[in-house]
Amino acid sequence: MLALIMGLSVGRISAIITRQRVNRAAIAVSNDLQTAFTLALRDRKPVQIRFDTTTMTLSVRDVVSGAVFRSTSLSAFNMSSSNVALSRPSVSIYPAGLANDSLSITLSATIGDATYTQRVRMGRGGLVQIQ
């Protein structure tokens, strides 16, 4: 009886862990995007958000010097290139608090037959939402 209960709950636990992994990755990306706007305003310098598909890393860097302020590896959340979709690979944020374009990052994971998805959207004015 115990083995039957354990067998049924393993699939459920795996689904919960996968959802939490995608949620944590979305929160980390959201924090990086918000930080980029804060840094551009604070330092009065343009900042670039760039995603490197080979290393699966989202970085926030100074446009002028190239110094990396913040870097988040989505590989740490067991994300691969098939799990991440971006509307564009890089966006610049100017000291006035505006970005040159909006950005949408979709994170997904397959759980059995279903796919769990979180979308992080950044507007040109700095509004960052997780949907």
What is the CATH code for 2-130? 3.55.40.10
Sheet of 128-130, strand order: 84-86, 103-111, 114-122, 128-130
- Say which range, 11-20, 41-50, 57-66, 91-100, has the weakest mean pLDDT: 11-20
Show Cβ contacts of residue 67 under 8 Å, excluding neighbours closer than 6 positions: 61
pTM over 0.85: yes
Q: Where are the domains of the chain?
A: 2-130
Q: Quick one: DSSP state of residue 35?
A: H
pLDDT in tens, 92-126: 999 999 999 999 999 999 987 889 999 999 999 99
